[in-house]
Amino acid sequence: MSTMTTLETTSTGHDEGATLNRQYATFSIGPLFFGIEVRQVQEVLRYLELTPMPLAPDVVEGLMNLRGQIVTAVDMRRMLGLPKRKTGEAAMNIVVRSEDGLVSLLVDEIEDVIDVEAGNYEQAPAGLPREQREMIAGVYKLEGRLLLVLATDRVLQANFCK
């Protein structure tokens, strides 16, 4: 049985140079703290049973049936080159809207929805390797940690067009 949370959409688009504060649905993948704008998230779910998909890219964990809609599940650990989850550690699902429909991002832990101040936003550091820079839209400086803003559209496009 799964627990579902539907997120209310109250944020605005992420325009370059905008001065509005934003809301992010946050999550952890290994030691990394990520966020996706709330408006892109359809819902968050506990682990759901997945059906393997033959000949799929390595990052695709499988397919899930979400109330009658077939959704592709992408393992963010694989996408980031992190070690596999330990046996018995179930992934959590963040279901996001993409141009091609819904996609579930498999993450380690769902965190909170947080408000961030636009003044704390910076572009992704130029020194990051190209693959990582493409996945990170920017960084927010928070008290005691950094929030990496996942470039959802670029992440999905890069991994399904191979």
Q: What string of DSSP letters covers 45-103?
A: ES----B--TT--TTEEEEEEETTEEEEEEEHHHHHTPPPPPTT-PPEEEEEEETTEEE
Name the average pLDDT for the chain.
84
Question: Which one, of 37, 162, 142, 152, lies nearest residue 103 by Cα?
Answer: 152
Number of domains in the chain: 1
At residue 41, the 3 state secondary structure works out as strand
Which residues span the domain enclosing 148?
4-12+21-160
DSSP state of 31: T
113/7: higher pLDDT: 113
CATH number for the domain spanning 105: value is 2.40.50.180
CA distance 130 to 43: 30
Mean pLDDT of all residues in 79-87: 86
Mean pLDDT of all residues in 121-127: 88
pTM over 0.85, yes/no: no
Q: What is the pLDDT of residue 160?
A: 55
**% of the chain with per-residue pLDDT over 90:** 57
Q: What is the pLDDT of residue 108?
A: 96
